[in-house]
Amino acid sequence: MSASGAVEPGPPGAAAALSPAPTGPPSAGHLFRPISAEDEEQQPTEIESLCMNCYSNGMTRLLLTKIPFFKEIIVSSFSCEHCGWSNTEIQSAGRIQDQGVRYALSVRGLEDMNREVVKTDSATTRIPELDFEIPAFSQKGALTTVEGLINRAISGLEQDQPERRAKEEAIAERIDEFIIKLKELKKVASPFTLIIDDPSGNSFVENPHAPRKDDALVITHYNRTLQQEEMLGLQAEAPEEKPEEEDLRNEVLQFNTNCPECNAPAQTNMKLVQIPHFKEVIIMATNCENCGHRTNEVKSGGAVEPLGTKITLCITDPSDMTRDLLKSETCSVEIPELEFEMGMAVLGGKFTTLEGLLKDIRELVTKNPFTFGDSSSPGQSEKLQEFSQKLDQIIEGNMKAHFIMNDPAGNSYLQNVYAPEEDPEMKVERYKRTFDQNEELGLNDMKTEGYEAGLAPQR
């Protein structure tokens, strides 16, 4: 069974007039401010707009804000004082991500019903236990909770029930029975699974145990299919003719792009680099002259290795912080002493030092408003402060710890300062990937040998 939800008109635009506001355009860096209850300057913009219910003038409020792991969003709320009609929705103000994302949450208790959820228009919501699905683009985007998603589905099913009872009583009774099942889910009498599948990669489900791993939440990143690309309005790139081979090792290539922060035109530099005792990698760096934002990303220059790689370093000396480190997008990081685990795709690909990556992890954890703001649970702030203090002790060399990099693709690297001899503090293991790891890398459906035999000429 599927539910399309209540009919919600988009932001009215037939007749709109901005409310009085200070003159002068705001700077691009202040358009999207981090979401915070303590930020008094973060005020919504009010727009007088047409109500699609009674056709009188109502008020639309727009708030431009940032949410961790979701980047910029636009929160809009409309209310009409004449007929009382109102609705809220969110829209992503950032770009569509390179990969889709799938969240599978095992709801085991009432506390799981309060998890923060960001669901975009393109996300599909499923509850397998009830064979229930909310298709993509059938509801507007929402910033809500797990309980709020279920309440929204119930409201959508109840909306046309009076009309159904008059015309098709049998169908109305079946829907009433299903609504009762949805309401029973909110009591969490038995565990159930909530799946949010978003090809745009812009949905989010809160991990209340951050920075620790959430055993109830499974996050999977995947490559979009052609149908999903068309659904999102993305055009497939046309095959290009192969140019003549050029030696790019001594050249810095430049191409135009947009800044991920302010969306202003910027320039990205790309360089092919040979890492000693490893392989070639592609380093890309973007510097925005408009807002000053800088970013760098590392891509492997070779193919997926036949075996996965697990690197374990015992940090015993402050000099270990200066080791060069290459973390690919498929690499996960673990620090057992801190009970910390960071999954694949988080922080993207990086070519830095061990100290630089640990500082990026600290910034990722400590600058998350969901863990320090009003939505944080009691005691969570103290746990994160303790985590940050221990991480600082590791960086300063006052605490011994193990640093583990696990890359199923085998494209990550940690410098061996004793090369070409073995490093007594570092252990490198090669292992055979599991079926699930090959599935995440898209290798199970990839055929690289003998595929020509299956391509019969079509006449």
At 125-137, the pLDDT tens digits run 999 999 999 999 8
At 49-77, the pLDDT tens digits run 999 889 999 999 888 877 655 567 778 88
C-alpha span between 112 and 188 (Å, rounded)? 9
Name the least confident of 1-5, 127-131, 360-364, 408-412: 1-5
- Is the distance from CB of 186 to CB of 111 less than 8 angstroms? no
Per-residue HEC secondary structure of 94-138 comes to CCCCCCEEEEEEEECCHHHHHCEEEECCCCEEEEHHHCEEECCCC
At 254-307, the pLDDT tens digits run 888 888 888 888 888 888 777 666 667 777 888 888 888 888 777 766 678 889
pLDDT, position 28: 42
At 354-383, the pLDDT tens digits run 998 898 888 887 776 666 556 566 677 778
- Is the distance from CB of 78 to CB of 57 less than 8 angstroms? no
Q: What is the DSSP letter of 143?
A: E
Predicted TM-score (pTM) of this structure: 0.48
pLDDT, position 193: 95
Is residue 351 packed enough to be buried (19+ CB in 10 Å), middle (13-18) or exposed (0-12)?
A: buried
C-alpha span between 458 and 250 (Å, rounded)? 45
Reference 65, options 40, 87, 44; nearest CA is 44
C-alpha span between 97 and 199 (Å, rounded)? 9
pLDDT at 8 over 50: no
- Is the distance from CB of 329 to CB of 420 less than 8 angstroms? no
C-alpha span between 79 and 83 (Å, rounded)? 9
pLDDT-derived band at 25, boundaries 50, 70, 90? very low
C-alpha pair distances (Å), 25 with each of 28, 31, 48, 65? 9, 10, 20, 17
Backbone angles phi, psi at 205, to 5 degrees: -125, 130
At 179-204, the pLDDT tens digits run 999 999 999 989 999 999 999 888 88
pLDDT, position 208: 85
Q: Record the tokens describing residue 101, joined without a space.
A: 């994302």
Mean local confidence (pLDDT), 382-392: 85
Look over the chain and give the mean of its residue pLDDT values, rounded to a whole number: 80
Name the least confident of 69-73, 147-151, 209-213, 401-405: 69-73
Question: Coil, helix or strand for 144?
Answer: strand
Is residue 201 packed enough to be buried (19+ CB in 10 Å), middle (13-18) or exposed (0-12)?
A: buried
